[in-house]
Amino acid sequence: MSVDTPHWVHDAVFYQIFPDRFARSERVPKPGSLEPWDAPPTTHGFKGGDLLGIVDRLDDLVDLGITALYLNPIFSSAANHRYHTDDYEHVDPLLGGDAALRALLDACHERAMKVILDGVFNHSGRGWLPFHHVMENGMSSPYRDWFYLDPNRLDQGRALQAYPSEELVAEMRRMASTESLASGLASERMLGYRSWWDLPALPKINVDHPPARAHLLDIAQRWLRFGADGWRLDVPAEVDQAFWREFRQRCREVDPDTYLVGEIWQVRPDWTSEGLFGALMNYPLTEALIGYCGGASIDWGLVAGQDQYRETIRMLDGPAFGSELERLMAAYDADVVRAQLNLLDSHDTPRFVTMCGGDIAAHRMATLVQMTLPGAPCVYYGDEIGMEGGPDPDCRRSFPADPATWDNERRAFIKGAIALRNAHPVLRHGKFDVLAAGGSAVAYSRHDESESFVIALNNGAQEASLAIDVAAVQDRPLQPVEWGGWPDGERGRVERSENGLSLHVPARGSLLLRQPPDRSPAPAPYVRLR
């Protein structure tokens, strides 16, 4: 069934920002002392990044080629990541409040940049007024049906245990494990309310209760009217799809071009069926890129420690990677494929380069794939200047304030890859085909009626060769493409024969070829884009 996705997303290059860690502005007053900006991040510490700090850095992002921002949660919260929402109706004062969001949206839209917000509608924080009201008033609270409560506890006048001792939390965990309880049921029994994954700080919202549902849907519309261009939706699988169909309908009433992208970690086309999301966070692509581009450099100890990756990441050779790309392209409607959020890492994962043992070549290869596939690429803040980071909270380090610490060659490479994507519509809208694969190498094409690109990759330690049938490439000159930041030692070769092409791809490297339109003059052997 055809899915209607906003077409602006097909051309977008996103940049994900964790607001507390990106940039701090002196124009946003802080109520007290903060963690030192350059100190290692902690689970509960605040660095003081804010939305006006983002405004101050927008021109750097425009220079990089970014056309859209994805912001982690910005609403009032007692957590630095702000997934514990205390007030859906106002931006956190530590980030500059509503006025700072107004300034950011205006500054982005002046630069033709879109902005999507992170929506957390499955659970709230303990400080959300409806939950606090229940804590204070028990069964007398008109908000009691907004949550999943233990009626026996409330009937007996016993208070909710919203701030349990460590011993009680440990006992709750044992109950959940011993009795194989579904998520939240142990907390409902022992704390008096159901919480997401039995985390006491995250009371689960009863979205089936009409007043609670209406309030959340009003919030969705409120911030779109304020100027946001879409929502990234947190843990949507924890909520019935009927809610999300209504959510989409209400959002489209405000703006038919609203982008809704769901945090679904698996290949799940049912979440993009008619009336649901326009796209998903494409973590299966992330896993394939780690498995192929990481190659022998993958940090398997780090993989083993990640619940989301332990069972899904495996080392891939060229044919296996090509097959995985074909599988991901075929799994969804073509419009959804062009709208998928294609990411290498995020606030929920170790940094890509860290997963790959610090291998910069792996990151370059993955970036090239990311920028030449259908879908909306998303750069996690700091990846472009060489930031590393292990599991949370280490993947949420502060963006280095001193440019002398930046990896400018990495930035030049990523900037060049984005510029190539932005300059050639075929890389955003053209057809995708795997041309050849063997051993450590794979080659695929992006093509339309007038222009073609061939992207060849080699994750092996030695140069690899691939033969491409002449029928796959039209009889026009092929132009190797490079740009600033491309390592001098990673230049491949192309040989033409009567049967087609022989591509010689450097070890741990790539070869990018462009077949320009017929009207183009014969190219020089190499074109450097800077």
What pLDDT score was predicted for residue 157? Answer: 87
What pLDDT score was predicted for residue 472? Answer: 62
Backbone φ, ψ for residue 352 (5° rounding): -55, -50
Q: Does residue 183 carry a pLDDT above 60?
A: yes
Judging by DSSP bridges, how do beta strands 509-515 and 479-483 pair with one another? Answer: antiparallel
Q: Residue 486 has which token pair? A: 């491309």
Question: In the predicted model, what is the mean pLDDT of residues 305-314?
Answer: 94
Tell me the pTM: 0.95
134 neighbors 144 (Cβ within 8 angstroms): yes
Question: What pLDDT, in 10s, does the model give residues 205-240?
Answer: 999 999 999 999 999 999 999 999 999 999 999 999
The tally of CA atoms less than 13 A away on the side-chain side of residue 178 is 7
Question: What pLDDT, in 10s, does the model give residues 49-84?
Answer: 999 999 999 999 999 999 999 999 999 999 999 999
Which amino acids are annotated catalytic? 234, 263
Among 118-132, 147-161, 480-494, top mean pLDDT goes to 118-132
Q: Does residue 293 carry a pLDDT above 70?
A: yes
Question: What pLDDT, in 10s, does the model give residues 464-520?
Answer: 999 998 666 666 678 888 887 777 666 789 988 777 889 999 999 999 999 888 664
Q: How far apart are CA 488 and CA 482, in angstroms?
A: 10
DSSP state string for 405-466: GS-HHHHHHHHHHHHHHHH-THHHHSEEEEEEEETTEEEEEEE-SS-EEEEEEE-SSS-EEE
Residues 6+ away with beta carbon under 8 Å from 362? 293, 294, 295, 297, 352, 353, 356, 459, 508
What pLDDT score was predicted for residue 450? Answer: 87
Q: Does residue 529 carry a pLDDT above 50?
A: no
DSSP state of 123: B
Q: Does residue 168 carry a pLDDT above 60?
A: yes
Q: Does residue 526 carry a pLDDT above 90?
A: no
Confidence grade of residue 332 (pLDDT, cut at 50, 70, 90)? very high
Question: What pLDDT, in 10s, does the model give residues 373-415?
Answer: 999 999 999 999 999 999 999 999 999 999 999 999 999 999 9
Q: How far apart are CA 169 and CA 186, in angstroms?
A: 10
What pLDDT score was predicted for residue 165? Answer: 97
Residue 393: cis peptide before it, omega within 30 degrees of 0? yes
Question: What are the chain's domains?
Answer: 1-122+208-277 (3.20.20.80), 129-198 (no CATH), 430-529 (2.60.40.1180)
Question: In the predicted model, what is the mean pLDDT of residues 303-332?
Answer: 97
E-strand spans in 72-201?
A: 75-77, 85-91, 114-119
Q: Does residue 109 carry a pLDDT above 50?
A: yes
Question: What pLDDT, in 10s, does the model give residues 236-255?
Answer: 999 999 999 999 999 999 99
- The percent of residues above 90 in pLDDT, for the chain, comes to 87
First-residue to last-residue Cα distance in the chain? 42
